[in-house]
Structure 1
Amino acid sequence: MKMEAIIEKVNDILVEEFEIDAELISDEKNLKETLDLDSLDYVDLVVIIESNFGVKLGEADFVGINTFQDFYNVIEDKITVKAS
């Protein structure tokens, strides 16, 4: 899956499932500050991402995530590993 498709799908999920204003989503913005999700919302986000992309995300995957681009990169990496 190409990065553009990942970004579009993730952003659609954030807008539809978490009612995030699409204008707030930007590659370099801080993911946690922008989304302002509680811990249950993050669990929901993980479940939705896993079911939409067919990958597994663990707590360790979120350690290095600061920006939306970091989040997209983790998903892309997981998809790449799964495909190989």
Structure 2
Amino acid sequence: MTRTEIEEKVKAFLIDDLEIEEENIFPEALLKEDMGIDSLDYVDIVVIVEKNFGFKIKAQDMAKVKTLAQFYDYIETQIA
């Protein structure tokens, strides 16, 4: 899976499942501050990522992820 495909899948579930406005979705966006992702959203993200990308997110790894670009990087390293 290419980086572009990862970004497209993530963008789709952020808009469709978490109802985040498209203008708030950009690589430098802070997950909590800019996108408004809260602890309940993280639970949804874990389930969605497992379904779409086939791996389980580790809480200690996600604690280090602050921006959307870092989230893309994390997914990319897990599926490589």
Alignment of 1:1-84 (within 5 A): 1-80=1-80
Per-residue CA deviation, residues 11-47 of structure 1 (Å, 9 max, x unaligned), is: 0000000111111111011112122133222101111
Tell me the matched-pair count: 80
Structure 1's consecutive aligned runs of 4 or more residues displaced over 3 angstroms after TM superposition are: none
List alignment gaps of at least 5 residues for structure 1. none
Once the two structures are aligned, what percentage of the paired residues are identical?
45
Matched residues in 1 for 2:3 and 2:37: separation?
Answer: 24
Structure 2: stretches of 5+ with no match in the other structure: none
- TM-score after normalising by structure 2: 0.92
d(CA) in 2 for partners of 1:44 and 1:35? 15
